[in-house]
Amino acid sequence: MLRDELIAARERYLSPSLGTTSLYAGNPLILSHGQGQYVFDESGKRFLDCTGQNMCVSLGFAHPVTMAMVSEQMHRLQHATTLFYNEQSVCYARELVAHLPVREDGEDWVVQLSNSGAEAIDLAYMMARAHTGHYEMVALRNAYHGLQFGAAGSTSFNTNRFASPGMQGFVHAMHPDQYKGSFGAVLEPYLLELKRLIAASTSGRIAGMIIEPIQGSGGVVPMPPGYMEGAFRIIRDAGGVCISDEVQTGFGRLGSAYWGFVDHGVLPDIIVLGKGMGNGFPIAGVVCRRSVAESFARMKFFNTYAGNPVACAAARSVLKVIDDEGLQTHARLCGERLLAGLMRLKARHELIGDVRGKGLILGIELVRDRVTREPAVEEGTRVQARLREAGFILVRGSPTRNTFRINPPLCISFDDADALLDAFDQALAAG
Ligand SMILES: Cc1ncc(COP(=O)(O)O)c(C=O)c1O
């Protein structure tokens, strides 16, 4: 299809509601193919994909191991529903559990798969409610957990809310944003506020709390050291279970650890997975304590595609390649190089208010004024367009759309990292 024809057909046949999600409004980028960390448009122009397609393409495009494992499974059996046993989902669950810390409370981890992150989030909430017998859940402000049903109830952006009642049963605690949070760069006031929220806005006995170790879509806001530990204690005292949303922070992307919660020295009761899990194949899921899953086992819970063997083959390739190619260590080294370079850029460009994150989850917040921290949104749009010209695709997160996010496939090279820093430098210098 020619470019104009494709754009017109998309407007004609795909829902207008998708318009709000497209990048580069008015001048869309059409992706033709991908290789490694790069994508190519219809004219053959190459881009470093600093989005990793919303972090889903973790190993890289057309990775030979994913292609071989997927293709072999595709030829063997393309689908088996959960009514039947199949080797792929069983092997995947075993291999996944081997990548989790051993529990010292005598419980083991079990896996339940789904097709998308939001489905897995809803599953986690249902499990928390079934296990505790409580209903109310706590999420953080500025959190993104998906847009279906309960997931949407816990997501905390007004851009994703209708002016009508959403899913009931969620209260939102102040997120401990160390750059522009309501209480500043501290820890205890946020924990105290969480306690007060439970006392004032819930029955006092809650089903649980969900936390992203780094709020990704909220603009790369890392939980400060001690927050998850303190919050987990408060939640367990109120009878709830603790859920770590590892949809973005899982699978080695942080470099320092395979899972985000590990860096915080806590052990969740439920872990939610998605995105990078399948190197682009739709697969997500929940890993939880066996007793949590047992409470839920009274109810028949089923969905048609969960545990699809081709998606499981892709997910097995992710675990294998991260280990075989040392991608977690590579994410750490690349992240350190990028972070150091971004700090140098911050010293040179007033527009950069803050640089934060870890591994290959990095954020660059643009502000008009370093004291008021007024979001530099139009400036960001110009920088984004210049980066595109230079061959780098980046999205901006946070409700105010002023934080660039760097989340490329884990196979990004040091040369790519240096080239991205140069491109940023030039795009910022151009004003
Ligand atoms: C942290 C987090 N949790 C959950 C989700 C929902 O995942 P999905 O879009 O696959 O439903 C997302 C999606 O962006 C996410 O970033």
Domains of the chain from N-terminus onward: 3-59+326-429 (3.90.1150.10), 67-324 (3.40.640.10)
Pairwise CA distance, residues 315 & 92, whole Å: 7
pLDDT at 25: 80
Q: Tell me if 210 sits within 8 A of 235, measured CB to CB.
A: no
User: For 345-363, what is the mean pLDDT?
Assistant: 98
CB distance 274 to ligand 1 below 6 Å: yes
CA of 284 to the centre of ligand 1 (A): 10
- The closest alpha carbon to 113, from 88, 93, 86, belongs to 93
Pairwise CA distance, residues 194 & 175, whole Å: 9
User: For 312-321, what is the mean pLDDT?
Assistant: 98
Give residue-wise pLDDT tens across range 70-82: 999 999 999 999 8
Q: How far is CA 165 from the centre of its chain?
A: 26
User: For 146-151, what is the mean pLDDT?
Assistant: 87
Ligand 1 atom index nearest CA of 212: 1
Judged by DSSP in three states, 214 sits in: strand
User: For 87-103, what is the mean pLDDT?
Assistant: 97
CB distance 156 to ligand 1 below 6 Å: no
CB distance 362 to ligand 1 below 6 Å: no
Look at phi and psi of residue 374 and say left if phi exceeds 0, alpha if psi is from -120 to 50, else beta.
beta
Strands (E), 37-135: 38-41, 46-49, 109-114
Ligand 1: residue of 116, 275, 281 to mutate (most ligand atoms within 8 A of CB) is 275
CB distance 121 to ligand 1 below 6 Å: yes
> Is the whole-model pTM more than 0.95?
yes
User: For 221-225, what is the mean pLDDT?
Assistant: 98
CB distance 116 to ligand 1 below 6 Å: yes
Pairwise CA distance, residues 382 & 241, whole Å: 44
Query: Helices in 158-297 by DSSP H: which ranges?
Result: 188-201, 227-237, 290-296
- Residues 6 or more apart whose CB falls under 8 angstroms from that of 81 comprise 304, 305
User: For 143-151, what is the mean pLDDT?
Assistant: 90
Amino acid at 307: G
Other CB atoms within 10 A of residue 77 CB? 14
Ligand 1 atom index nearest CA of 121: 4
Q: Is the per-residue pLDDT at 166 higher than 80?
A: no
pLDDT at 407: 98
CA of 155 to the centre of ligand 1 (A): 10
Point out which residues pair with 34 in neighbouring strands. Answer: 39
Pairwise CA distance, residues 234 & 190, whole Å: 12
Pairwise CA distance, residues 134 & 208, whole Å: 8
Ranking 55-64, 159-168, 183-192, 249-258 by mean pLDDT, the lowest is 159-168
CB distance 230 to ligand 1 below 6 Å: no
H or E stretch including 309?
helix 309-324
- Determine whether 58 is exposed, middle or buried from the number of CB atoms within 10 Å of its CB (0-12, 13-18, 19+): buried
H or E stretch including 300?
none
Q: Tell me if 292 sits within 8 A of 270, measured CB to CB.
A: yes
What counts of helices (H) and strands (E) characterise the chain?
A: 13, 17
pLDDT at 403: 97
Judged by DSSP in three states, 354 sits in: strand
Pairwise CA distance, residues 113 & 124, whole Å: 11
CB distance 142 to ligand 1 below 6 Å: no
CA of 84 to the centre of ligand 1 (A): 28
Q: Tell me if 362 sits within 8 A of 355, measured CB to CB.
A: yes
Query: What are the CB-based long-range contacts (under 8 Å, 24+) for 152-159?
Result: 152/118, 154/121, 154/125, 154/210, 156/218, 157/217, 157/218, 157/399, 158/399, 159/399
- Residues 6 or more apart whose CB falls under 8 angstroms from that of 238 comprise 198, 202, 204, 205, 206
Q: Is the per-residue pLDDT at 161 higher than 80?
A: no
CB distance 245 to ligand 1 below 6 Å: yes
User: For 270-291, what is the mean pLDDT?
Assistant: 98
User: For 162-169, what is the mean pLDDT?
Assistant: 78
Q: Is the per-residue pLDDT at 11 higher than 80?
A: yes
Amino acid at 67: M
The CA–CA distances, whole Å, from 187 to 125, 200, 392, 427 equal: 26, 20, 36, 35
Q: Is the per-residue pLDDT at 53 higher than 80?
A: yes
Q: Around 70, how many Cα atoms within 13 Å sit in the side-chain half-sphere?
A: 16
CB distance 317 to ligand 1 below 6 Å: no
Q: Is the per-residue pLDDT at 295 higher than 90?
A: yes
Pairwise CA distance, residues 228 & 225, whole Å: 7
